Amino acid sequence: MLGAINVVGGILVIGSYVQGLKAHPALRDGLWGHVPLRIRPFYGVSGLLAAAGYLAFTYFVMFSLEPDEAEIANTFSFKLFLIIYALILFPSALWMPLTFAMLENPSRGLWREIRITLAVVGLASLGMLAALLGLNTREPAFIYWLAVAGTVAFCIQTALLDALVWPAFFPVKR
C-alpha cells in the first residue's frame, strides 16, 4: 500500500508540475511571488536536500521497517505512515494548480486553499519526523539516522520555506 501511495502521489505531484509549467509559461516567474532573488538559491539547495531526504526516509520506512512489527510511540501502528505519506503527497499535487489559478484570478478563497495545502504538507512532514523519532525500532542505525536527517531537511523545505517564508512574499491583497 505504501508503494502505491508513493507511485500514485508521486505521479500526481510531478504531473501537476509538468502540466502547470507547460500550460502557463508566461506565469512561471509569478510562482516565486516576491521572494527576494538573494534567497532563491537557498530554495534550490533546500529543494535538492529535501528530495534526497524524502528518498532517505522513504527507503527506511519501506525497506527497513516490518509493517506488522513497527510501533510508533507505543500507540500507533505502521498505518500512521500511510496517512502521513498521503498528507504529504496528495496536497503537494494541489499547490501548483492552485497557485497558477491564484495568479490568473486572485481571490481570498484560493489564497486560503493554498495556505491550507502548504500547512497540511508542512505539518505532515513534521509528523513524519515525530513518527520516526517515536519508533520502537531504529535499525539499521545508520539508515535510521540518515532517514531522520533527511526528514529534517524535508521539514525545512515544507514546514519552514514553503508554509511560512513563501507565503510571506507572495503578492496577495489581504
pTM of the entire predicted model: 0.94
CA distance 2 to 24: 32
Q: How far apart are alpha carbons 71 and 150 in whole angstroms?
A: 20
Residue for grid cell 491550507: 116
Percent of the chain at pLDDT exceeding 70 = 99
As a whole number, the mean pLDDT across the chain is: 95
Express each pLDDT in 4-45 by its tens digit.
999 999 999 999 999 999 999 999 999 999 999 999 999 999
Q: Which of 142, 149, 166 is nearest to 42 (CA)?
A: 166
**Angstrom distance (rounded) from CA 135 to CA 84:** 14
Cis omega (within 30 of 0) for bond into 106: no
